[in-house]
Amino acid sequence: MFTVTAEAYATETASLRAERDAAFDATFERYKLPGLAVGVVRDGQVVYQRTAGERVAGSGERIDAATLFKIASNSKAMTAGVLARLVDAGRLKWDDPVTKHLPQFRMHDPWVTQQMQVRDLLIHNSGLGLGAGDLMLWPEPNRFTRADIIAGLQHLKPTHSFRAAYAYDNLLYVVAGEVAAAAGGVPYEELVKRELFQPLGLSRCQVGEWNRAEVGNVAQPHMRTPQGNRVIREDETIVPNVTSMAAGGIRCSLDDMLSWMRMWLSPEAQPTWLSPAQRRAVWTAHMPMPVSARMRAWDNSHFSAYGYGWRLSDVDGAWKVAHTGTLAGMYSSVILLPDQRTGIVILINGEGEAARTVLGQVLTKQITRPGETHSVAHYAALLDEERAGERAAKPKPDTRHRSPATTAALSAWTGRYRDPWFGDATVCAQGDRVRFASARSPMLTGTVMQVDARWLVDWDDDSVDAEPWLHFSADAGSTTLALSHVDPEADFSYDYQDLAFTRVAACDAAATTKVDVSPATDAASAGLVDVAPLAKGVRLDMRYAGTANFTGARVPGYEANTCLLLAPVAQALAKVQADVQREGLSLKLFDCYRPVRSVKHFVAWARDAADQRTKPAFYPNVEKAALLDGYIAETSGHSRGATLDLTLTRCERGACVDLDMGTPFDFFDPRANTAHADLSPAQKANRARLLDAMARHGFHNYPMEWWHFTFRPEPSPQTAYDVPIQ
C-alpha cells in the first residue's frame, strides 16, 4: 500500500491540502455518496490520498485504499497499454488488418471489414452510431459471449462513413481484447495479468473470473433511493469473466490506480515497460473530437481528440490526458496533467456522475489555476443549470398515467420477435399482463404498459433505468417491432434504435425452445435436396456414413455418401463452390443435414464413458463427459437443414490435397476454435479464406469449430427433420 510520505507532503502547501479536503468533504456530503476514494500523484509521489464511506451501505465495512472498485471504461487504457506492449514485442502492428488476427471479424460493409486496422478498434471511428450494439454488453449479467459480439457486428448498420467522425463505442474494444489474445497467445485476462498487473505491481487489480470472498474488500454498486443508498447488482461469490472485460470490466483499488498513474507520468520509474515510441503512440491525437460548450466555458479548451484508450484535450493552456468510467452504480475518473507531472483519480460506488464531474473539475483547477477559488458548490450550480437547460430542450414525456396493457389490445402484435444481432425477444401474455422478455439479456424483462395510445416496457429491475417505447407495424405479411427511448437523455448504451425485430413465431411457439420435428418421411417431402448436382465439382467425404469419425462406427441415419440441404441453402452453397473453383479450389463436405436420430446417437455415445476408442484421435485433451458442454448438443442445427461442415481442397491431376487448417475435422480441442492464436500464418490464412468464401453468400461460422457454418436467415428455424440420408 502507498503511504503519503513526509517528503511528498513537503512539496505540497498546507493550504492546497486543505482545499482538497474541503472539496472531498463537500462532494461526499452534497451527493450523499455511499463511498468515495480520491488520490493525487505529483512528481512520482503520492501527495494526497483520502477515502470515506462503506463498501456496502449500512454494513460498517469501511472503504480504504485497498478496496476494489469497478473502473469501468478506464479499462480501455489498460487494453490499449497491453496492445502497445505487443507492438513493442513485434507480435502485432497498429496498422495490421483486424482480420489478420481474427479471420471471422466482419463489419456491415465488406470494404470496411478489409480496411479496419487494429488502431481503428481503439479510436471510435468505425462509422457505427453512438454505443451501437451495447445491449450485448449491458445490463449485466447477460448471456452474450465475445464470439456473439464479433458475429453481431456485421448486422449493425453504420450511421456515417468509416473514419469520418467520432462516435464512442464499446464493442470494438471487446474485439481489441480478442486481437490482443490472438496475438499474445493466451486469453485476454491472462494477457492483462502478464503484461500489465505483474510488471507494474498492480497487486489488487482483478480481471477475468475471481472469487469475491478470497479477494475480499470489494465495493458494491449502489443506486440512490428516497430511503438512502441501496446495493444493486451485487457480486456473487464467483465474479464472472464478463464479456465486456476489455471495454470496461477491470477492477482496481485506489493504490493500484495511483501506481498506474505514476507509471504514465514518471516513465523513468518503469523505463522498460513501454518504449518511448509506444508511449507517444498511445497519447497521440488519432481521432478529432468536438470541443463541448462546457469545455470552452469551464476550461478554455481549444482542442479535443481521442488517443489509444485516452481522451486528450487542453485545460487553461495545460495538456490533459484523461478518461472516465461509468457503470450502473460505479463511477471512476483518471485525470493526468503530464506537463505538471500530476495525476488525479476518483472512485465512487454510487450514483456519482455529477459528483465525479464536479470534484474532478475542482481538483484539476487547483493545479491549472492555483490561487483562485474553485468550490464544489460553484461547479455544482453550473452543472445543475446546464442540465436544467438540457431537460427544457428535451423534456421527458409524462408517463405517470400508465396502466398494464391488456392482452386484447396487443393481440395483433404478440409473438416471438428476432433481431439479427440481439436475438429473440417475446411479447406474450402471462396471466392478465403482457410481458416483454429478452432471451439473452434476462434483465431486460418487464411488463408492457399503455400510456394513452402508446406502449412502453416497465422493466422489472429498477436499476435498468431506460424504458423503451414499443413501435409495432405490419407490412406485406411481415410484423416488425422497433424500440426507442422514452427519456431522450437516457444512457446511450441502451441502443434501442439499433434493434430491428421481425416476428418469427406465435407466443405458444415462443414459450419453448423446442424445435418441432417434421412428419416428413423422405427428403423430397422435407424440401431437402442433393447438393452435388447443384454445386458442380464439390467433393464429398460424409464422415458419419463411414467409420472415420469420432464414434468409430457408421452413424444411424447416414445410409449414403450424400449431402442434403434445404434448397435455398444448397443454392447458396453452389455459389460458394463456383467462387472457390475460380481460385483453383473446391469445397470438401464432411457433414450436411443430420437426422434427429443421428443426434440422439451422438448424445448416447458421449454419455458412454466406457467407450474411449477414439479419444487419441479426436479428443485427446478433453474428457469425454465434457463433450456435451459446447461440442455435442442434444439438438443440432444440422437437423434443420441449414448447417454444414466443410473445408477447402485443391485437386490437380486427379489428386486432392486439403488446405492445412491446423486441425482435422471434428477435433474437439481449443485449437479448433476458428480464431485460435497458436496457428501458423498459413493456417490462419487458410481459415480466413474459407470464412471469406462462405460469408459472401450468407454462411456464418461457429467460433468453436473452424469447419462449422450455418446459413442465415435459416429457411425453417423451428423445424427439424428425421428422414434418413439415402
Sort 480 into a burial class: Cβ within 10 Å, 0-12 / 13-18 / 19+.
middle
Contacts of 497 (CB under 8 A, 6+ apart): 129, 483, 484, 485
* Residues 453, 112: Cα–Cα separation, whole Å: 42
Residue found under cell 442434444: 634
Sort 482 into a burial class: Cβ within 10 Å, 0-12 / 13-18 / 19+.
middle
- Rounded to 10 deg, the angle between the 567-581 and 681-695 helix axes is 130
Q: In angstroms, what CA-CA distances link 357 with 312, 381, 408, 466, 504? A: 16, 12, 48, 22, 45
The verdict on whether omega for the bond into residue 139 sits within 30 degrees of 0, i.e. cis, is: yes
Q: In angstroms, what CA-CA distances link 451 with 408, 413, 456, 510? A: 16, 17, 7, 26
Closest CA to 156 of 183, 191, 127, 114: 127
Q: In angstroms, what CA-CA distances link 286 with 76, 165, 575? A: 15, 12, 41
37 has which bridge partners?
51, 347
* Residues 371, 481: Cα–Cα separation, whole Å: 57
CA angle 576, 104, 587 (to 5 degrees): 25
In the three-class reduction of DSSP (H, G, I as helix; E, B as strand; rest coil), residue 333 is classed as: strand
User: What is the pairing mode between strands 311-315 and 304-306?
Assistant: antiparallel
Q: From the candidates 178, 467, 705, 714, which is the catalytic residue? A: 705
Closest CA to 718 of 545, 461, 517: 517
Has 638 been labeled as part of a binding site?
yes
Residue found under cell 498506474: 260
Contacts of 167 (CB under 8 A, 6+ apart): 124, 126, 127, 128, 129, 130, 132, 159, 160
Q: In angstroms, what CA-CA distances link 605 with 553, 554, 602? A: 11, 12, 5
Q: Catalytic residue at 705?
A: yes
**Burial profile 233-250: b = 16 or more Cβ within 10 angstroms, e = fewer:** bebeeebeebbbbbbbbb
The alpha carbon of residue 241 and the mean position of all alpha carbons in its chain are separated, in whole angstroms, by 11
Backbone angles phi, psi at 214, to 5 degrees: -70, -40
Residue found under cell 456519482: 352
Question: Is the distance from CB of 343 to CB of 48 less than 8 angstroms?
Answer: no
* Residues 484, 486: Cα–Cα separation, whole Å: 7
Closest CA to 75 of 150, 142, 174: 174
DSSP state letter for 218: B
Has 708 been labeled as part of a binding site?
yes
The alpha carbon of residue 254 and the mean position of all alpha carbons in its chain are separated, in whole angstroms, by 26
97 has which bridge partners?
117
Sort 472 into a burial class: Cβ within 10 Å, 0-12 / 13-18 / 19+.
middle
Catalytic residues: 705
Question: Which residues sit in the known binding site?
Answer: 638, 645, 708
What are the binding residues for Zn(2+)? Answer: 638, 645, 708
